[in-house]
Amino acid sequence: MVLLTAKADFRRDESTREKTVNQYKLGATVGRGTFCKVKWAEDTNGNGYAMKVLSRMLMERRMVAVFKRESGATTIPFEEAIRAELKLLQGLQHNHIISLHEIIDDLEHQDMYIVYEGMVGGDLMNFRSGICGYEVGCDAEIAKKHWGDQLCLEATEGPREGEIYVYTEGIARFLLAQMFEAVMFLHEKGIIHKDLKPDNILLSHPLPASDLRIARKLQGLAEWPKVEDADSTGGVADAASEASLRKLLVQNGLSIKVCDFGCSEMAAAPDCRIYDATGTQLFTPPECFEALHCSDDGILGKPRDMWSLGCTLFNMLYGRCPFWSEDNFGLQLAIIGCEFSLPEDIISMQAMDLIRGLMQKEPGDRLTAVSASQHPFLRPLEPLAPPE
């Protein structure tokens, strides 16, 4: 149940400079959007939340671009877009969808506050502009506070220059299965996310320190190391060890949640067609750039999300995006060409096949959320009892 609060009591302690809004004590800034900032907040019981702070003046004055089938490209006030997102999110309750906790909307106050459940693990991966790729974040000190000595034995040195941390296939399998569950739920409701990427997938806990090889080191982006036992077992050298680690992660509540529904929309079943290319271009499929303005029929929404998950898995295992260009036009041309390389002997054949299945050029040829969840890459996952 989402709390709707019409009164915002903002206070600042002059001696400590501590800020509070109603029952929430504001902490560090943990994220920034185009028109907002996100603060870590704790209530009087010590529960953690992510609080999005939106300037009311900015919401009223800023316009955002949208595309409507009836009227084509147009603009609407940012506030209208925010309220549409909140309306959509209020109707979503799922283990792998971010929960909306409270909306503090005081018309006499300069800011509007949106309170989400806290996900202390942060983004699935962090973008590193220096190498134009994504890496797994892992702070041993922070991890030890959450996991204790059970998984965090000793801190290891971070990646050396030219190296990057990515997910092992075992952990990628564990997290990807949850992503498919979330998208399956959305698609069953006729909701197309349109901006699935590592930045919009959050971890409930920080990852355990890298001692247990939650991440694998890659020696730069040109000299890919060879992975051992990349055979029909799906790259799992020790299935028993993976199952044991996965059991620990489940018991300790590690999970992912999809967030940021600013681009999302409800589309008419069964095709769930959409009529714009809203989203992040690095994760946008070719049909959004090819035929969007050449047909009144729009494009199939569900395959659009599945392509984005293929790009996300590519990043999880390789630490880079399948397509890259310094300019938007060059990136669009590369995506339309749909020619990306999967370096051999780096990941298992099953992982490569799943990526190809998610990133077929023709939307109708792509795996659905249901068929992807049944792919051989995920078969090593045995059902585990939920944490008590």
Domains annotated on the chain, with CATH: 3-12+21-117 (3.30.200.20), 122-378 (1.10.510.10)
Q: How far apart are CA 3 and CA 175, in angstroms?
A: 30
Run of H or E residues at 128: strand 126-128
Residues pairing with 160 in the sheet: none
pLDDT digits (tens, 9 = 90+) for 200-251: 999 998 887 654 445 555 544 444 444 443 433 344 445 666 777 777 788 8
pLDDT digits (tens, 9 = 90+) for 162-193: 577 888 888 899 999 999 999 999 999 999 99
Run of H or E residues at 143: helix 140-147
Nearest to 42 by CA among 120, 147, 142, 121: 120
Q: Is the pLDDT of residue 43 over 50?
A: yes
The pTM for the full model equals 0.89
Q: In 10 A of CB 108, how many CB atoms?
A: 8
Residue 14 has which token pair?
């002059």
DSSP state of 380: T
Confidence of residue 71 (pLDDT cuts 50, 70, 90): low
Question: What integer is the mean pLDDT of 31-36?
Answer: 81
- The SS3 call for residue 314 is helix
111-117 sheet: strands from edge to edge: 3-5, 100-104, 111-117, 48-55, 36-42, 24-32, 19-21, 10-12
Q: How far apart are CA 221 and CA 261, in angstroms?
A: 32
More confident residue, 158 or 288: 288
Q: How far apart are CA 186 and CA 304, in angstroms?
A: 13
Answer for the pair 60, 41: CB distance below 8 angstroms, yes or no.
no
